[in-house]
Each structure stands twice: as C-alpha cells, then as structure tokens.
Amino acid sequence: MRTSLLICAFFIFCAVPLYANWGGDAGGSVATGTFKAVGTDQVEMQSENLTIWLLRDRAKVQVEYVLRNTGNAVDVTAGFPCLGIAPEDKKNYIEIEDYQLTADGKEIPYRTEKGDVKNWKRVFDQDFINMTGEEVGPPRMLWLTSTVHFEKGETKNIKIHYESLYEFSFGGPSEDSDYNNDYFRYLLSTASTWKGPIQKGRITIKTATVDPKSITIKPAGRFQPLKVGFVWEFENLKPTVADNIEICLNNKFSTVFNYSSESQSDASWYSFEGDKYYFDFHGYTPKATSEKTGYPAANVADTKAETAWVAGKNGGLDEGITLTLTKPEHVNEIGIIPGYAKSKSLYFANNRIQELEIVVNGNHVVKATLPDEYISYGPYSKKGYELIELGDYDGDAQTIALTVKKVYPGSKYNDTCISEILLRKRLKEKPQVQGAR
C-alpha cells in the first residue's frame, strides 16, 4: 500500500498545501469573516456590503464597510479572521490568497497574529477533522490585523478582497478516495465588537461556475433567490454565531481506481456521484495540428498537472487536438484542464481557452464556452476539470477533435495550452468493482 503523501500528490496541485494522514488529506480555508474591532468602542459599522462569487474550487470575495468614528481621533486596530490548519513546514502560510485591504482607496498593510481557536472549534466540519493527522497542527485561528487612523467624527470606506479556497477533505486506501463536501464559511458574528449593530447589510452570493440548485446555505430562510445567486438584506443586526454563513456545495463523491490499467497514459477509474456513475479514462492517442517544441500533444494524457500541450502557431486559434480512442466507447462528457496548470501564475500568464469546438466522429458538433478560472485540484478526479457534455449522438466515439476558437489572452505569453483531457462514460447502473484494501 502506498503512503498517503503519494496519494495526495495524485489528486491535488502544489497550489493547495497537503495535510496528510494515513490515506487522507484536508485543507483550504475553514472560515473567514467580518473585520473585528480590537480595543475600541467608539467606531460604528454603518454598512457591510459582502459579495461572494462561487467558483469550482474557491470563492472570490469582496466586502465593503462604511465605518464612522463617533468620538475623538483614534487609531483603530481591527483583525480579519482566518480559520484553518497550516502545514508545519510553512510557518507564514495563510489559507486565503490575494488578500488586500484599502481605506478610502489607500492600501493598508497587515500583520498576522495567532488567535484563540477554542471558541471556534465547532466551526470545523468533523469529516475535515477526521482527515487531518498527528503530523500537522491542530485547528487554528489566525488574524490579519491592520491599523487605520480616524479623525474625530470621520467616516471611512474600507474594502477587503481575497480568494478563499473551499474547505476540502478526502481519504481512502491507495488510489481510491471518498471526497467529502466542500464548504465556504463567513463569520458575521465577529462584527459584534463594533459600536452598536450593523446598521445596514447586504450579502450577495453569485453562483459564477457552481449550480445554484446544488448548494445549501445557512442560516436557512435568510437568502432570497436571484437570477444568478442569492441575496440577504438586513438592518440593525447585532450578529451572533447564529448569523454566521455556511455554504455547502453538496459535491461529495467517491472514486475507485481501475487497477487493470496497463499504463499511466491509460489511467482510469470509476466515479460514484450520488445516483450517477461514470467510467473516467484516458484510452486514446492524441495528435495535434501543431506543437510547440517540448510541449507535445501526449502531455494531455499523462495525468500530470505540470505538463501541457502548447499550440505551435496562431496563438492557438483554430489549432487543436484529435483523440483517437484505443477502443471505441460512447463518451458522454469530456473533462478538460484548459490552460497551463503547473501554477496559478503560469495559468494566467498564458492563453486559456474561452471557446472550444468539439467534433465527435467527424459529424457531431458541440460548442462550449469555458469560464476563466484556475482550479487547484489535480487530474485524478473530476474536481480538476471543466466538464463538457457531448449531448446525443449515435454509436460509439472513435475520434474526438477539439479545436480552439477563442482564448482569454495571457498576461505574458501568447501560448494556448491544455494540461489534461479526460473522457467520461456514463454508466447505466452502479458497477460492481473491487476497490483497494
């Protein structure tokens, strides 16, 4: 049986830290929350306007506060809460990314301070705790603390934005895994330290690349539906823990590796997703219309996030890859990692696919528009891919051609990349397969 650290390397990119135990992994941000006042009782929160964009593996968050000083001039120290677990070898690690705070448009620096986690342990999901081991530290509370000066009677506009990786956890023997639900949490209760209540609040959840029908939100009954999400508006709220927000993506599933695969290039597994079952595989030979030296088409089938096919001309436009299946199968979905996913910085430095044309057997055409999002999960489960339904067509797929029609421009390179392509066959009934022991 392989060690759990090797298992984790199969499933997740280095962008997300590994918290390994025997056959399990957990990480991401357990919770963030409202800016908390420390040592002052004369500044009131006139408004809090929070927007949460739900992406595949993270939330993008922006919050705007209007704060008014009701007394004499004062330096206000306030902390932004982060709950999670940090790896012991990354002492300066924080669970969120791209954190920035501004006051009236001017960026304010922050420092990290350890907090007391004992009152927050109930926030941590038990499945998450079960997947952490002795070799990593216990749950922790971290504060990102800033100091803002207020003149007498002054009102300031404070803005914070960041990206929050969802709390995730999974585990199992060898290459098999049970993936638990992903969570995003926001602690509204930390606003209780400001003078008086939050006078006016608006919390908007936008389901950017997440199905709004699949999520559940707590507290129940607060949020009203929008065309692309949900909203909760309130006035004069002195928040308690009962007002803390929890979004569950309800995306738990399991995988069983197909141990009969003869090579890594044909890596395959079964995916159990509620009442839906899939056979996910790489049984194809890829051939590209062009290739940049050192980045061949074969890279899309090697189950390695750090490699990619790169188009050799035209900035990738009207270039593509044809997959010839080793054995014809009725493929229902394609999973694609549409960029150079070795790192987040390289992903956005290069072109990413915006519009893609897929042709099955030379006659069944599917057009897809892909979101511009970096996904930190690795290629050994559906979580790492943008999934595209192929729709109805007759018979089995023998060839599948992918052509790039439009791209999101890279910030540094005019190279269009694909890191991985996965084929997915939907099964009519749950397969009787033996997992690892």
Question: Residue 282: pLDDT above 50?
Answer: yes
Q: How would residue 18 be classed by pLDDT, with cut points 50, 70 and 90?
A: very low
Of 248, 272, 290, the one marking the end of a domain is: 248
Six-digit token pair at 175?
């290459």
Mean pLDDT of 134-141: 68
Q: Model-level pTM? A: 0.90
Residue 353 has pLDDT above 60, yes or no: yes
Kindly tell me if the per-residue pLDDT of 11 is higher than 50. Answer: no
**225 DSSP β-pair partners:** 230
Residue 280 lies in a domain: yes
The mean pLDDT of 407-411, rounded to a whole number, is 97
* Statement to judge: residues 285 and 412 lie in one domain: yes
Number of domains in the chain: 2
- pLDDT exceeds cutoff 70 at 15: no
pLDDT on residue 1? 25
Q: Are residues 223 and 262 in the same domain?
A: no
Query: DSSP code of 313?
Result: S
pLDDT at 267: 87
Among residues 248, 264, 279, the one where a domain terminates is 248
Do 208 and 276 belong together in one domain?
no
On average, the pLDDT of the chain sits at 90
Inside any domain, residue 432: no
230, 297: one domain: no
Q: Look at residue 263 in the predicted model and tell me its pLDDT.
A: 54
Lowest mean pLDDT among 4-18, 26-40, 183-197, 344-358: 4-18
Could you give the percent of the chain with pLDDT greater than 90? 77
Q: What is the tens place of the pLDDT at every residue in 115-125?
A: 998 889 889 88
Q: Which residues neighbour 250 within 8 Å (Cβ) at sequence distance 6 or greater?
A: 181, 214, 215, 216
Nearest to 378 by CA among 137, 177, 131: 177
Q: Bigger pLDDT: 69 or 25?
A: 69
Q: Are residues 286 and 330 in the same domain?
A: yes
Is residue 351 within 8 A of residue 413, CB to CB? The reply is yes
> 332 with 220, same domain?
no
CA 304 – CA 123 distance, rounded (Å): 34
pLDDT at 5 over 80: no
Does 234 lie in the same domain as 170?
yes
Residue 434 in domain: no
Predicted confidence at residue 215, as pLDDT, reads 97
Residues 178, 274 share a domain: no
- Is residue 100 pLDDT above 90, yes or no? yes
Reported as a single tens digit per residue, the pLDDT across 187-234 is 999 999 999 999 999 999 999 999 999 999 999 999 999 988 999 999
Tens-place pLDDT, residues 362-397: 999 999 999 999 999 889 899 999 999 999 999 999
295 domain-assigned? yes
Mean pLDDT on 40-47: 95
Q: Can you tell me the mean pLDDT for 71-88?
A: 90
Regarding whether 241 and 115 lie in a shared domain, the answer is: yes
What domain range includes position 376? Answer: 253-427
Tens-place pLDDT, residues 240-256: 999 999 999 999 999 99
- In a domain, residue 435? The reply is no
pLDDT band at 109; cut points 50, 70, 90: very high
Whether 133 maps to a domain, the answer reads yes
From 218, 248, 278, give the residue that closes a domain: 248
CATH number of the domain within which 258 lies: 2.60.120.260
- Mean pLDDT computed over 58-65: 98
Kindly tell me if the per-residue pLDDT of 236 is higher than 70: yes
| Structure token pair of residue 169 | 């956890």
CATH number assigned to the domain comprising residue 175: 2.60.40.3680
Helix (H, G, I), strand (E, B) or coil at 354: strand
pLDDT band at 138 (very low <50, low <70, confident <90, very high): confident
88: confidence class by pLDDT, cuts 50, 70, 90: low
- Write the pLDDT tens digit of every residue in 139-159: 889 999 999 999 999 999 999
Asked if 318 and 240 sit in the same domain, the reply is no
Is 433 within the bounds of a domain?
Answer: no
- State the average pLDDT over residues 305-309: 94
Q: Which two tokens stand for residue 280?
A: 């996910």
Cβ-based burial of 203 (10 A; exposed 0-12, middle 13-18, buried ≥19):
buried
Do 235 and 368 lie in a common domain? Answer: no
Q: Are 418 and 292 in contact (CB under 8 A)?
A: no
Do residues 161 and 296 share a domain? Answer: no
More confident residue, 316 or 171: 316
Q: Is residue 224 part of a domain?
A: yes
Mean per-residue pLDDT for 176-194?
A: 95
Instruction: Bin 126: left if φ > 0, else alpha if -120 < ψ < 50, else beta.
Output: alpha
